[in-house]
Amino acid sequence: MKKLIESIVAKPVKPGMVGDGFRVFNYIPRGGITQRRISPFLMLDFNAAFDFGPSDHIRGVDVHPHKGFETVTIAYQGSVAHYDSAGSSGVINPGDVQWMTAGNGILHKEFHEESFSKKGGLFEMVQLWVNLPKKDKSVAPHYQALTAENMGKLVLDNNQGQVNIIAGGTAGVNGPASTYTPINLFDIQLNSGGTFTTSIPSTHNTALLIVNGHIEVNGAEAAEHSFVLFKNEGDEISIQANTKSVILLLSGEPINEPIASYGPFVMNTDAEIREAIIDFNMGKFGYLE
Amino acid sequence: MQAFENYLKHHTPITGEQFTVLKQELKEKNYPKGRILLHEGESTNVSYFVCKGLLRAYTLDNQGKEHTIQFAPENWWLGDRNSFYFKEPAAFNIDVLEDSEVVIVSKNFLDSAMELCPDFGKYNVYLLHNSIRYMQRRINQLLAASAEERYLDFIRLYPKLTLRISQIMIASYLGITPESLSRVRKELARRNSYL
């Protein structure tokens, strides 16, 4: 049975700035799409394609903490350099995904990669926050640097397009990301007229972000930059691209635990949030210049 | 306004009817980040209660460097007593650090509230003593405490502000350079980090 659509939400009217390097439209949490409704996803910010222009000043977000969840950065266009208090650093290039498990707490910063910043050009990214179940909130922080060439690749017949599987799987192709709860994250790239059909369990909270293009999904039209939220009924999703399109599919088994959050900390209780703030202030997440 | 009413009802026995009468002496305002509400040397007859957001009182020295006197996040009061009580030019600047919802409190409000609800007067005296106590502690720290002791006291008083304001601004409150603040945080991380 086809998955029923709960709502199709248009792009928010105004973008917000995260630091001075990310000009984002916020889709989660927003209106009826609460963190509980779309669990395990906590936040989705979309930097729709935007050219900041060449700049010697490197744009980005300076040092900030995270604890209790994972940040997933999906690069469509442009490059981001990141550094953290565990001593790791790297560059996320188009097609790459950085899956950071903040777990017990880490400091990091993200900037436009220097040569990209100086040259300018279109910058297009998604940042998704994925909750961790209570039992895994205190794991040691770590990264999965998932590169474009390591994504699970499902090439569609007749030049219809390609699906890059970041996490989870479909049609026998699996993504490289290791997740704490069942999650599917697909970067669906369709040529005009291309179709893609997949099956996602009805228990998963499921949504699509139309990154580019214009599609029909399960009989409804979804315009560029709209967000399609499915009901937890039915399992089949059938997408037809009316123009060349890029779609992000996200689905996950909900984590049925209380959510307490303050800024960059997501725990289960207010007492844990207070403790997280003290830990951060006392230097427990390390130090980053 | 609801946040202010809740605050008063939590700390004093003020009734809904009394608050309705007193409300006439209050104004609600939303201010955007960056707005300056008071300049040093001006006169003012109002104080602020912060329902949401963050205000700051600060001075500028001869070199144009900022020195932060006080931050006022949610449920804090901020005003310039020099001007508000003593009708002298304001000693501080007050600016808005985050988009804020504030209640503007007049002298008439305080006088009427004390008349209508004597326990409000007692609470106001408590607030005054509490503020003097913290100010004395702050004077002692600025004279005698190490940078680390000042920072530790700051995070006890304002635990969430480290997530909301820049290191430069925290340093301007502690009376140390941003470099010293970095050294303090680096040293705390060296001792406490679990990474």
Question: Is A271 in CB contact (< 8 Å) with chain B?
Answer: no
Spatial contact of A267 and A276, defined as CB atoms under 8 Å apart: yes
Residues B148-154: what's their mean pLDDT?
Answer: 98
Question: Going by DSSP bridges, is the β-strand pair A236-241/A195-199 parallel, antiparallel, or unpaired?
Answer: antiparallel
**Structure ipTM:** 0.90
CA A278 to each of CA A44, A71, A133, A289, B162: distance values in angstroms, whole numbers, following the listed order: 27, 22, 22, 20, 10
Cis bond upstream, residue A29 (ω within 30) = yes
User: Cα-flanking dihedrals φ and ψ of residue B5, to 5°?
Assistant: -60, -45
Question: Is A89 in CB contact (< 8 Å) with chain B?
Answer: no
The whole-angstrom distance between A171's CA and the closest CA on chain B is 40
| A286 contacts on B by Cβ (under 8 Å) | 189, 193, 195
Residue B195 has pLDDT above 90, yes or no: no
Question: Is A26 in CB contact (< 8 Å) with chain B?
Answer: no
A5-15+23-252: CATH number:
2.60.120.10
| A103 contacts on B by Cβ (under 8 Å) | none
Residue B192: pLDDT band by 50, 70, 90 thresholds?
Answer: very high
Residue A241 has pLDDT above 90, yes or no: yes
Per-residue pLDDT reduced to its tens digit, A271-287: 999 999 999 999 999 99
- State the Cα–Cα distance between residues B114 and B110, nearest whole angstrom: 6
| A104 contacts on B by Cβ (under 8 Å) | 194
Asked if B195's CB is within 8 angstroms of A141's CB, the reply is yes
Residue A287: predicted pLDDT: 97
Residue B173: predicted pLDDT: 98
- State the Cα–Cα distance between residues B188 and B62, nearest whole angstrom: 33
> Chain A: residue nearest B157 by CA?
A278
Question: Is A289 in CB contact (< 8 Å) with chain B?
Answer: yes
- State the Cα–Cα distance between residues A15 and B142, nearest whole angstrom: 42
Residue B62: predicted pLDDT: 96
Asked if B162's CB is within 8 angstroms of A284's CB, the reply is no
Asked if B160's CB is within 8 angstroms of A286's CB, the reply is no
Question: Is B129 in CB contact (< 8 Å) with chain A?
Answer: no
Per-residue pLDDT reduced to its tens digit, A2-59: 999 999 999 999 999 999 999 999 999 999 999 999 999 999 999 999 999 999 999 9
Residue A170: pLDDT band by 50, 70, 90 thresholds?
Answer: very high
Residue A47: predicted pLDDT: 98
If you ran DSSP here, which 8-state letter would residue A89 be given?
Answer: E
Per-residue pLDDT reduced to its tens digit, A79-96: 999 999 999 999 999 999
H-helix or E-strand spanning residue A251: strand A245-252
H-helix or E-strand spanning residue B60: strand B46-60
Residues A136-140: what's their mean pLDDT?
Answer: 97
Asked if B163's CB is within 8 angstroms of A286's CB, the reply is no
CA A72 to each of CA A111, A126, A140, A177: distance values in angstroms, whole numbers, following the listed order: 15, 8, 17, 10
Cβ contacts of B179 within 8 Å, gap of 6 or more? none
Residue A262: pLDDT band by 50, 70, 90 thresholds?
Answer: very high
Q: Return the structure tokens found at A14.
A: 């105004």
Question: Is B145 in CB contact (< 8 Å) with chain A?
Answer: no
- State the Cα–Cα distance between residues B72 and A42, nearest whole angstrom: 29
Q: Where are the domains of chain A?
A: 5-15+23-252
DSSP codes, A205-241: EEEEEEEES-EEETTEEE-TT-EEEE-SS--EEEEEE
Asked if A287's CB is within 8 angstroms of B189's CB, the reply is yes
Query: Residue B140, SS3?
Result: helix
Per-residue pLDDT reduced to its tens digit, B99-150: 999 999 999 999 999 999 999 999 999 999 999 999 999 999 999 999 999 9
pTM of the model: 0.92
| A84 contacts on B by Cβ (under 8 Å) | none
Query: Residue A196, SS3?
Result: strand
- State the Cα–Cα distance between residues A71 and B68, nearest whole angstrom: 34
Closest-CA residue to A151 (of A195, A199, A93): A93
Select the residue of B159, B187, B195 nearest A286 (Cβ to Cβ).
B195
- State the Cα–Cα distance between residues B173 and B159, nearest whole angstrom: 14
Per-residue pLDDT reduced to its tens digit, B19-57: 999 999 999 999 999 999 999 999 999 999 999 999 999
Residue B59: pLDDT band by 50, 70, 90 thresholds?
Answer: very high
Closest-CA residue to A78 (of A133, A127, A27, A128): A127
Question: Is B194 in CB contact (< 8 Å) with chain A?
Answer: yes
